[in-house]
Structure 1
Amino acid sequence: MLEPPEPDDDAAPPPSRTLAAASPRGLVLACAGLLHRGDLEGARRIAGAVLSSADPRGDAADRLAHHFARALVLRADEGHGGGAPAVVGAGPASSTAYLAYNKIAPFLRFAHLTANQAILEAAAAARRVHIVDLDAAHGVQWPPLLQAICDRADANLGPPEVRITGAGPDRDVLLRTGDRLRAFASSLNLPFRFHPLLLPCTGQLAADPATGLELHPDETLAVNCVSFLHRLSRDGELAAFLRWVRSMNPAVVTVAEREGSAGGRDDDDDLPRRVAAAMDFYSAVFDALEATVPPGSAERLSVEQEILGTEIDAVVAGPGGGGGRPRGFEEWAAAAHAAGLSPQPASTFAAAQARLLLRLHYPSEGYAAEEAGGACFLGWQTRTLMSVSSWH
């Protein structure tokens, strides 16, 4: 009679046991690998296991895994295994989520404060100022700048005239933003105009960047690129856009972007590598929220769902889905130099102001702001998360 075979210690465990033993991060990366290879059924099975076990209201690791698994399901449902990326069609976040993000995390305020300081310094002697804001959203960046312009105005001359061209994909949001900014400027007795510039997609701007843009030679021009350039996914598209910006001879160009690099080429859609790099970045963001905001906070949930979740969807969708290709400050700087722009180093005051912002409004010890290489950087623990630089 034959004896039963001895157990093979090297044999692969059953799939169910493998899924149960893997970490949420490991499961997400395994799902990305299967999706990249075209195994949609396997990818959906693993993503389903993550969604059933990772609580979107749980700890930071669970919340992070849940959002990545959901984004991978969206990509799988589009039927894209390893080829062209799915297209993300989500609209802009609600004003409630946007303002909540501004309140509970420093990223937006850090970017706005530092960029505003560069604009304020560049337009110090101007009598007419034109700001082209390429992602106007709800316009929360501009009231502090308008206030600062009034505060420093010559009493005999009065404040200068300020015009903002605010770009975005939603006309109604832009119109409401313009109404709010006009009302605020009126309360300051500041001459002010707001022009909405509807840009359904960044590709339209790259193809015809002068669309709807009105320039006057007697205005001091500032071009504000806060969380915008990453949407120009291809290096050629980015280069063409920056050359156009340079051709307008702006007094200042402000650039604020997430810090990250997944490497690769413009046409390279290496999903596992991109997901791994994005998980490293967003794990720091979710950890920061975990350290500063209670798990059940309604504000935190809206931020994670409407803003961070939408960003993760775009990253997983790939360059064609609005996520762009991750770049770090050195890559942004190289592109700016190549377009003929010159760096405008951050002032000592700007860096000190950023550190004061963190100390007063975000007292967690994990955040840090520093100046290096002429730019300002914001980080959590040992991870650099955002850079702000200015050019002319």
Structure 2
Amino acid sequence: MAWFSHIQIFGEFRRCQLHGTIINDATLAQQILWVLNNIAPPDGDSNQRLTCGFLRAIIARAAKSGTCKLLTAMANVHTNLAMNNHKFSIIELASFVDLTPWHRFGYTAANAAILEAVEGYSVVHIVDLSSTHCVQIPTLIDAIATRFEAVPLVKLTVAGHTEDFPPMLDLSYEELGSKLVNFSRSRNVVMEFSVIPSSASNGFSSLIEQLRMQHLIHGENGEALVINSHMMLHYIPDETLPVVQNTSSPQISVETCSSNSFLRSMFLEALRSLDPTIVILVDEDADFTSNNLVHRLRSAYNYLWIPFDTLDTFLPRGSKQRQWYEADICWKIENVIAHEGPQRVERLEPKSKCAQRMRNASFRGISFSEEAITEVKSMLDEHAAGWGLKREEEDVVLTWKGHNVVFATAWLPI
């Protein structure tokens, strides 16, 4: 398999960092550059483009280690191959998301579960933690407008990301909120929009505190509280990056949490303290948490071949959308491979680990209805034949050629 050569190349980089005599070996530098330029061109087939992305990431990591000849050459090549992440307009982002089921799968399953959970409520408060900037919300508003005889007031609270990770938007959340309010009005749904600047790096602590205050005021009025987490939980630090206590900037309120000192679990326990009506958790089914770089490289390669492979089924070479899509994937690869500590934010963990966290935080999983499964299958019919759906206990999993890609889970407080 191709990844063996990648591991060997990485081994050479490590050897170069450890032995000064090899660092200045021009022959080795030429060999590495030859591999990069001839075996892994950025415009080759899906395997070559994937390899190119990983080689760029390894180069970026090695280039941080010193200023020797080899590392300088590697840094220069990396600079020449760098991809700039595109800032999307709303229309571009919606079209981008529709390219594959990668996000639509979670949207479709989540919307169906949310509609069932909030039926009969006069006020529905949706807290949207999403990496795709509320692209899911218009379809949910459409469904609310058509499904319910008595249309509820919708309150939408968004965590305005203070970090920049793709896909990125070219307008402010205030502008985005105005567009969503106007869209809702066109569907005869009244929406109140609020944005709370908040960071995943500290477990969305400001968002949690704001929600707690709102819950104390509105919690007894029969308001449905929906927590919709779409590919955001893995940005909250886990056990591989312990909490650094800072008295001048308090973390999530500890009085609502157990003695667990890790932000990801603390965040879920804080959500449980709000007694939500339903929590939807959607994320990518992979494990990027290891502090062992080679283990992480293997895991990333064994997962991130999938988006490159899918693109060859429907996007031609040279397509702007394909460039944007692959730039986002390469950003993820570089973050997983080239960074450590707080800079490494791509800390995916598998579905089984996420589910155990939810159970530890006093949630219980619920199954998606047959109607939800039918809607997901209908959505998948719009895409390439390689996509599939499988059910694992209460959960649903998106697959590509039989490999797990994204999972969707629904939870109720115990």
The two structures have a TM-score, normalised by structure 1, of: 0.81
CA distance in 2, matches of 1:92, 1:223: 28
Confirm whether residue 282 of structure 1 aligns to residue 286 of structure 2: no
State the shift of 1:181 in Å: 0.6
CA gap 1:63/1:202 in 2 versus in 1, 3 angstroms: same
Counterpart pick for 1:260 among 286, 290, 293: 286
Conserved? CA contact 1:28–1:50, under 8 Å: no
Conserved? CA contact 1:67–1:312, under 8 Å: yes
Give the aligned partner of residue 5 of structure 1. Answer: none
Q: How many residues align?
A: 351
How do residues 121-200 of structure 1 correspond to structure 2 at under 5 angstroms?
121-135=116-130, 137-154=132-149, 158-169=150-161, 172-199=171-198
Give the aligned partner of residue 396 of structure 2. Answer: 376
CA distance in 2, matches of 1:51, 1:174: 40
State the shift of 1:372 in Å: 1.9
Conserved? CA contact 1:146–1:185, under 8 Å: yes
- Give the SS at the match of 1:257: strand
RMSD: 2.7
How do residues 213-292 of structure 1 correspond to structure 2 at under 5 angstroms?
213=211, 214-215=214-215, 216-217=218-219, 218=221, 219-235=223-239, 236-261=262-287, 264=290, 269-292=291-314
State the shift of 1:302 in Å: 1.1
Give the aligned partner of residue 94 of structure 1. Answer: 88
Conserved? CA contact 1:136–1:167, under 8 Å: no
State the shift of 1:318 in Å: 4.4
Cα deviation, 1:180-221, whole Å, max 9, x if unaligned, reads: 21110011121101111212x312335555244343213210
Question: 133-142 or 35-44: which moved more?
Answer: 35-44
User: Percent of aligned pairs with the same residue?
Assistant: 25
Confirm whether residue 109 of structure 1 aligns to residue 104 of structure 2: yes
Residue ranges of structure 1 left out of the alignment (5+ in a row): 1-22, 81-89
CA gap 1:38/1:133 in 2 versus in 1, 3 angstroms: farther
Give the aligned partner of residue 9 of structure 1. Answer: none
Confirm whether residue 56 of structure 1 aligns to residue 82 of structure 2: no
CA distance in 2, matches of 1:71, 1:168: 28
Counterpart pick for 2:54 among 68, 77, 96: 68
Confirm whether residue 29 of structure 1 aligns to residue 7 of structure 2: yes
Cα deviation, 1:148-169, whole Å, max 9, x if unaligned, reads: 1111222xxx411001111132
State the shift of 1:65 in Å: 1.2
Quick one: which amino acid aligns to residue 390 of structure 1?
A
Cα deviation, 1:268-296, whole Å, max 9, x if unaligned, reads: x2111101111110112211111232233
CA distance in 2, matches of 1:45, 1:141: 48
State the shift of 1:139 in Å: 1.6
Conserved? CA contact 1:50–1:69, under 8 Å: no
Conserved? CA contact 1:226–1:256, under 8 Å: yes
Counterpart pick for 1:321 among 310, 322, 343: 343
CA gap 1:93/1:120 in 2 versus in 1, 3 angstroms: farther
State the shift of 1:319 in Å: 5.6
CA distance in 2, matches of 1:372, 1:97: 34
CA gap 1:297/1:209 in 2 versus in 1, 3 angstroms: same
Conserved? CA contact 2:388–2:401, under 8 Å: yes
CA distance in 1, matches of 2:121, 2:16: 57
Conserved? CA contact 1:206–1:237, under 8 Å: no
State the shift of 1:263 in Å: 6.6
Quick one: which amino acid aligns to residue 63 of structure 1?
R
- Give the SS at the match of 1:210: helix
CA distance in 1, matches of 2:362, 2:13: 40
Question: 115-124 or 254-263: which moved more?
Answer: 254-263
CA distance in 2, matches of 1:107, 1:384: 11
State the shift of 1:326 in Å: 3.1
Quick one: which amino acid aligns to residue 370 of structure 2?
T
